[in-house]
Structure 1
């Protein structure tokens, strides 16, 4: 009985998403002499402002094209799938390439690149172009990378009498032990033991791979066919991250919101309730207007050297786009 109820609820959710997509994404007639291209992204108000600036510059250089931005702040992947199922997907949208390529919903762009005089593979950092390839075909040229760095509240460090992470790094002392020490000093509790400020907060569950990387491990083999989840470096990296909450009590546990992909870490950091967090360059737009000064530093390093975890959002062209 419960299984049937769960299945019914699932189908109702899919139906609701499809109906929502149909009414929200009804195409509008293009202005005279202009081609309208719809572009869907994940994000909130900060991302909208950043993309609107880029779109304005693009339209200035391409006056015959109008870009219609479609912002999807929540459940992005589910809604994109609903739009694809309803056959009314945007012309261009950000995707997880491994999820979309096997479905045949993206158009290869090798022919575009071949006739673009401004495209030169040697202009890119080695390995970057591989992010947009699958099965020998190119589906995207990454426009940006998202290396994870440490965001820290400068005032918190100064008031605590600590050197900043960048100062520790310049001395060759910015390692995991120093990081944990700073977390302990920066965490504040009132007389009843209630935490008024965490030394650190994890930005979503996906950032766990950073802790593996800076510990000298890697989650998968280069061809992504073998998982290294039992590798001692992987286990140790994940355990050290868990210990921040379970042993050192300098970070909260992962919340249901974070498991759902809606981390409150950046809001808490912006309000001064968190002293440090790891995140990528997209956070700069969200931290505009932050009252306290902040800075960025490399993640804690180990004897093996400095490292981080980086990723890129892939922007793909819908295979059925008329443009």
Structure 2
């Protein structure tokens, strides 16, 4: 017992000695707590922005907490519910409407009205609209992006295929051309094992293909699932056929332990967000790559757009300092770093989108005019406060489709029935 008490005393003393204690704050300095998620590269970017903000605003000190993405929303939800949330935090738009509905955010309308340095007109319309809820403006948009195709230029050249960017600029980058490329870029070895697949498809792509085939998954207000309409069923058929009819994308068993990745050169095309570019820059050394918009379908080309909001906690004690930080984070200088030099996202600013410093790059992606096109042709996801209520049901049905256990018609009908039953319930 004495030994245990002694050990407890020593441990407590060690913790007292080595636990970092907050630095004293000089008189007149406001401390802002800011929380976000990200990898080490994002941490470096955040710190660079914070350092520059501090240089411009010496009376404000920003304390950054970077949380792994897998644990972020569990931590944020606890902090919001307990009234201990940071002054400023990032929120993925998937969660934004539900949190806004609960009153967690400070409205920004009054700040905007009296601040001549912030103008809605400086930003693309979709960027501003995504930060609104129930008629109020709550969040500036950061890490905004579109789903595009990253592709291996060397593989296209070796296969004698026209570069998809060239086809895109000619107006010829269609689902037919996309499928032809995926088939010709899928290579099977003498042992019958696929050495290289044409494309890697994520479940999110169902949205852009549904729109491209003239279908919808939800009504515009997100109140009903309409996935059983013909265009959506066609899109589901196309996606299932990519795996089971044409075998141009790997099955889960084939891609166990990530055997096929874009970085390895064993996937010719992959759908991904704008924020994937830094990862590809870091890991790809053996081939040239770039980006192109998604292919057009019978009903046109409709890329998916989505961002993340930077928000002020409603109970913050430093609203003015928090507003200055939000405003700086979406300034031209900040986005020139985050979206231009680091390529972490599409720029949200009209003035930067047309600038050479954003469009030009000495390393991939170089075809950065593609990002700007997405604002003209892209569509936002119809995310509402009920989004998370029905997603599990949709994902379950889609997985059964891609495992060939449900037909497209069965999957669409079953998903619509189950999801509409969920949406008809009173939210809790």
TM-score bracket for the superposition, by shorter chain length: 0.7 to 0.9
Name the residue aligned to 1:219.
217
CA drift of 1:254 comes to 5.8
2:65 to 63, 70, 93: 70
Give yes or no for contact 2:140–2:311 (8 Å, CA) kept in 1. Answer: no
| Alpha-carbon distance in 2 for matches of 1:213, 1:264 | 29
- Post-superposition CA distance 1:282-310 (Å, at most 9, x none): 11222223212211111101344332110
**Residues 118 and 191 of structure 1: is their aligned pair in 2 closer, same or farther, counting only changes over 3 Å?**
same
Name the residue aligned to 1:232.
230
2:22 to 23, 28, 31: 28
Give yes or no for contact 2:213–2:298 (8 Å, CA) kept in 1. Answer: no
Give yes or no for contact 2:215–2:232 (8 Å, CA) kept in 1. Answer: yes
More helix by share: 2
Name the residue aligned to 2:273.
280
Runs of 4+ in 1 over 6 A off after TM superposition: none
| Alpha-carbon distance in 2 for matches of 1:180, 1:68 | 49
Select the structure of larger CA radius of gyration. 2
| Alpha-carbon distance in 2 for matches of 1:236, 1:28 | 58
**Residues 212 and 304 of structure 1: is their aligned pair in 2 closer, same or farther, counting only changes over 3 Å?**
closer
Structure 1 unmatched runs, 5+ = 1-25
CA drift of 1:86 comes to 4.4
Name the residue aligned to 2:297.
302
CA drift of 1:27 comes to 8.8
| Alpha-carbon distance in 2 for matches of 1:199, 1:295 | 15
Could you say what secondary structure the match of 1:54 adopts?
helix
Structure 2 unmatched runs, 5+ = 1-19, 319-428
TM-score (norm 1): 0.80
| Alpha-carbon distance in 1 for matches of 2:63, 2:115 | 24
1:320 to 310, 315, 320: 315
| Alpha-carbon distance in 2 for matches of 1:27, 1:136 | 42
In the TM superposition, 1:260-279 aligns within 5 A as 268-279=261-272
Give yes or no for contact 1:214–1:299 (8 Å, CA) kept in 2. Answer: no
Give yes or no for contact 1:152–1:295 (8 Å, CA) kept in 2. Answer: yes
In the TM superposition, 1:72-221 aligns within 5 A as 72-73=67-68, 74-95=70-91, 96-143=95-142, 145-203=144-202, 205-221=203-219
CA drift of 1:313 comes to 0.9
Give yes or no for contact 1:269–1:277 (8 Å, CA) kept in 2. Answer: yes
TM-score (norm 2): 0.61
| Alpha-carbon distance in 2 for matches of 1:27, 1:237 | 56
Name the residue aligned to 2:34.
39
Could you say what secondary structure the match of 1:275 adopts?
strand
Give yes or no for contact 2:29–2:60 (8 Å, CA) kept in 1. Answer: yes
**Residues 315 and 284 of structure 1: is their aligned pair in 2 closer, same or farther, counting only changes over 3 Å?**
same
**Residues 234 and 303 of structure 1: is their aligned pair in 2 closer, same or farther, counting only changes over 3 Å?**
closer
Number of aligned residues: 291
Name the residue aligned to 1:5.
none
Moved more, 27-36 or 165-174: 27-36
**Residues 110 and 75 of structure 1: is their aligned pair in 2 closer, same or farther, counting only changes over 3 Å?**
same
CA drift of 1:172 comes to 3.0
CA drift of 1:216 comes to 3.2
| Alpha-carbon distance in 2 for matches of 1:246, 1:79 | 40
Give yes or no for contact 2:33–2:63 (8 Å, CA) kept in 1. Answer: yes
Could you say what secondary structure the match of 2:41 adopts?
helix
Could you say what secondary structure the match of 1:316 adopts?
strand
Moved more, 35-44 or 272-281: 35-44
